[in-house]
Amino acid sequence: MSTRMPVFDLFAPDAFDHPGGEIDGAAVAIGPEGYAVLSFEAATAVLRDTRFRNSALQLMEDFGIADGPVHDFRARSIIMREGAAQLRLRTPLARFMGPAIVQDTRFVLRQIVAEIMQDVDASHAMDFHAAVDRRIPSLVYCHLAGAPSTDAPRVQSLSERTLSLLARDRTLIPSILDAYNELFDYLADLIARKRADGLGEDMLSYLIGLTDAGKLTEQELFDEATSMLEASSVNTAHQTGLVVWTLLSDRAVWQRLREDPSVIPAAVVEATRLYPRTGVLSKIATEDIDVQGTTIPAGSDVHVAVWSANRDPERFNEPTIFDLDRERNQPLTFSTGSHNCLGQGLAKVEMEEVVRHLVENYPESRIVEEDTEIGQVAGRWLVKNLMIELR
């Protein structure tokens, strides 16, 4: 056991004032909610160690969802599985979400962004989060899943309401349960309609095809579709807003994007490093595990502070500076290890296309700082308002 164990509450409102990396020379701290893993090296080790399990199921149980369909879905879902059981669900999704689909989706996205921007009144400052970045991911999900685009507002609301569990607010539980039940009904109906109308080239058709070929069970088909829907929209919407805010706020960076749009992908990655939507990833130790000299006892809550690891000076030179030229810039925003984000290629393309649209069509745009609210809840960065003058 380490002799030094600093105390640090990473869910405190001022937690993000910590500059990043170790605290008092230690990579792991203790707080009211359990262990906090702060350095890049320790965070990477924890995220790659399957003895740390996702805490989402425990969080549901702590909040009183101890049985029933929502609990049982969570227990069976990809994020809770390890080893061969996880690969059984991950491999089909990873195959479908390969580079070809991501690149095809880029062209669809250009159209989606252009159509949304046509509805926008650019004559005065507008909330870009409400009008633009919140609307895009659910339209992309509908395209991917082969659902009509008129379903997008419903998909957006379902993703926002189900994943609000991570806000760790007990008062949201009734709305979370309602949202899951509505999501289950929605997907059962969508899958039935697809079977009736004939399969296409989309993700749900692909998964139904695997099921009909005996490679997935009906339950697994349903669980795959549910996991993809809940993960599809809310994180991408907030992360897109955070990226746009970061890039437009730094005029020197924005000027560079205008002069050379080929650096947009690097700019998106660097912005996600500084402001990761998924600022904290929560795990549970399944046995006693040593993390850089600290023994974390079995059963402990272990919170990986991605926002801190992404600003660790041991890993990122001058970590608070936005630097477009970083070598091997691989922040932990999409996690690492066997559960790294399956949608990250798609999410990056979404963000790139929003930025590209602004650079090409509204190069003189500015953030109205006094009406913009960016914050964090339970360690997750979020956009409340993002007021922009489009020019």
H/E segment holding residue 291: strand 289-291
User: Closest distance between ligand HEM and the C-beta of residue 62, in Å?
Assistant: 17
Instruction: Report d(CA 91, CA 93) in Å as an integer.
Output: 6
Provide CB contacts within 8 A for 271, sequence distance 6+. 242, 243, 246, 247, 322
- Measured in whole angstroms, the distance separating CA 83 from the mean position of its chain's CA atoms is 22
Instruction: Report d(CA 373, CA 42) in Å as an integer.
Output: 31
Identify which of residues 111 and 317 has a Cβ nearer to ligand HEM in the complex. Answer: 111
User: Closest distance between ligand HEM and the C-beta of residue 282, in Å?
Assistant: 7
Q: Shortest CA distance to 18 belongs to which of 376, 383, 391?
A: 376
Q: Shortest CA distance to 104 belongs to which of 153, 144, 51?
A: 144
User: Closest distance between ligand HEM and the C-beta of residue 254, in Å?
Assistant: 21
Identify which of residues 253 and 354 has a Cβ nearer to ligand HEM in the complex. Answer: 354
Q: What six digits make up the tokens of 214?
A: 């005996």
Q: Which residue in this structure is represented by tokens 């919170």?
A: 303
CB-CB contact of 40 with 306 (8 Å): no
Identify which of residues 90 and 357 has a Cβ nearer to ligand HEM in the complex. Answer: 90
Identify which of residues 141 and 316 has a Cβ nearer to ligand HEM in the complex. Answer: 141
Identify which of residues 26 and 246 has a Cβ nearer to ligand HEM in the complex. Answer: 246
| Ramachandran sector of residue 250 (left: φ over 0; alpha: ψ -120 to 50; beta: rest) | beta
Identify which of residues 205 and 236 has a Cβ nearer to ligand HEM in the complex. Answer: 236
Q: Shortest CA distance to 332 belongs to which of 42, 30, 23?
A: 42
Identify which of residues 91 and 295 has a Cβ nearer to ligand HEM in the complex. Answer: 91
User: Closest distance between ligand HEM and the C-beta of residue 319, in Å?
Assistant: 19
Exposure of 193 in the CB half-sphere (CA atoms within 13 A): 10
Binding site for ligand HEM (CB under 6 A): 54, 78-79, 90, 227-228, 231-232, 235-236, 239, 277-278, 281, 333-335, 339, 341-343, 346-347
User: Closest distance between ligand HEM and the C-beta of residue 93, in Å?
Assistant: 6
Identify which of residues 39 and 232 has a Cβ nearer to ligand HEM in the complex. Answer: 232
Q: Which residue is nearest to ligand HEM (CB)?
A: 343
H/E segment holding residue 308: helix 306-309
User: Closest distance between ligand HEM and the C-beta of residue 203, in Å?
Assistant: 9
User: Closest distance between ligand HEM and the C-beta of residue 123, in Å?
Assistant: 30
93-101 CB contacts, 8 Å cutoff, 24+ apart: 93/203, 93/224, 93/228, 93/342, 94/342, 96/203, 96/206, 96/207, 97/203, 97/342, 97/343, 97/345, 97/346, 99/345, 101/144, 101/346
User: Closest distance between ligand HEM and the C-beta of residue 211, in Å?
Assistant: 18
